Amino acid sequence: MNEKQSDNAENIEENVSEDCNTNEDGALIEDQVNQDKELSDESDEKINAEDLKNTISNNDARLEQLEKEHETLKSQYVRIAADFENFRKRQSRDQDDLKIQLVSKALTAILPIVDNFERARQQLKPEGEEAQTLHRSYQGLYKQLVEVLKQQGVAPMRVIGQQFDPNLHEAVLREASQEFNEDIITEELQRGYHLEGKVLRHALVKVSMGPGQQNSQQTEEKDKVEEEINSESTISEDN
């Protein structure tokens, strides 16, 4: 009986020892697994950090490239917009110039008619009721013509007593004058006109040479010029 109890005790000790060994081996294996897992996690973290760093670097490079492309496109847009604006202004200016040229050509053809109206008004001295009625009608037509020119921006020059300016006037006669100083306009031989501030037709004028005696040559020149002006007006009226 004692021997049997002794054997059982030994068996129990062996089982306990085996259980202990098994537990120790399991603990070692678990530690090894945890270590391997930690190493794996550390490796994954390093790989992820490297990938993230590469991704950020690539994104920065791409962003810099996009910014350069944006600046290039912006510069091109600004240049194109400026070119278009200059083109638009040039086209508008050319159209305005063309319009002024066409209007100037038409109005210049009408001015001799206005000259003839003014000369006729100065020369005609109606007598009798019928002649006065005709004269008033004539004056009404002249006023309508002047009003049309005014609406188109045409304005007559005022030259008597003004300093001679070759940009505005054309001197066809020069004579001595006790009343006016040198280079002062003493008489208007043909009226000049402005169109929107620009010269539509230069005024034909007589300019003072200052105090002195007028000779016969100057008188002949004056008569000749006035005759030519009257002749041109007559031709325009006939046409």
Statement: residue 134 has pLDDT above 70: yes
Band (14; pLDDT cuts 50, 70, 90):
low
Band (212; pLDDT cuts 50, 70, 90):
low
Do residue 76 and residue 15 come from a single domain?
yes
Looking at mean pLDDT, say which of 14-23, 97-106, 128-137, 158-167 comes out highest: 158-167
Q: Does residue 135 fall inside a structural domain?
A: no
Band (232; pLDDT cuts 50, 70, 90):
low
| Angstrom distance (rounded) from CA 48 to CA 53 | 8
What pLDDT does residue 237 have? 45
Residue 111 contacts residue 104 (beta carbons within 8 Å): no
Mean local confidence (pLDDT), 89-112: 87
Mean local confidence (pLDDT), 1-9: 51
User: Is residue 198 within a helix (H) or strand (E), and if so which, with residue range?
Assistant: strand 198-201
What pLDDT does residue 216 have? 46
Q: Does residue 174 fall inside a structural domain?
A: yes
Q: Tokens 């002249």 — which residue?
A: 142
Half-sphere exposure of residue 24: CA atoms within 13 angstroms, side-chain side: 6
Do residue 174 and residue 228 come from a single domain?
yes
Could you tell me which residues come within 8 angstroms of residue 190 by beta carbon, excluding any fewer than 6 positions away? Answer: 115, 203, 204, 229
Q: Does residue 60 fall inside a structural domain?
A: yes
Band (31; pLDDT cuts 50, 70, 90):
low
- Of the candidates 89, 108, 127, which is a domain's last residue? 108
Secondary structure E strands in the chain: 154-156, 169-175, 185-190, 193-195, 198-201, 203-208
Higher pLDDT, 131 or 159: 159
Structurally, the chain folds into a number of domains equal to 2
> Using one digit for the tens of pLDDT, what is the confidence trace for 138-187?
788 888 888 989 998 899 999 999 999 999 999 999 988 888 889 999 99
Task: From residue 69, give the alpha-carbon distance in Å to each of 28, 62, 73, 170.
Answer: 61, 10, 6, 62
Do residue 104 and residue 161 come from a single domain?
no
| Angstrom distance (rounded) from CA 192 to CA 203 | 4
Band (99; pLDDT cuts 50, 70, 90):
confident
Give the structural domain span for 13. Answer: 1-108
> Using one digit for the tens of pLDDT, what is the confidence trace for 39-71?
666 666 666 777 777 788 888 888 888 888 888
Q: Say what the pTM is.
A: 0.54
Q: Does residue 136 fall inside a structural domain?
A: no
- The first and second tokens of residue 136, run together, are 């008033």
How do 198-201 and 193-195 pair as beta strands? Answer: antiparallel
Mean local confidence (pLDDT), 66-86: 90
Mean pLDDT of the chain: 77
What pLDDT does residue 62 have? 86
| Angstrom distance (rounded) from CA 153 to CA 149 | 7
Q: Does residue 117 fall inside a structural domain?
A: no
Q: Tokens 């046409």 — which residue?
A: 239
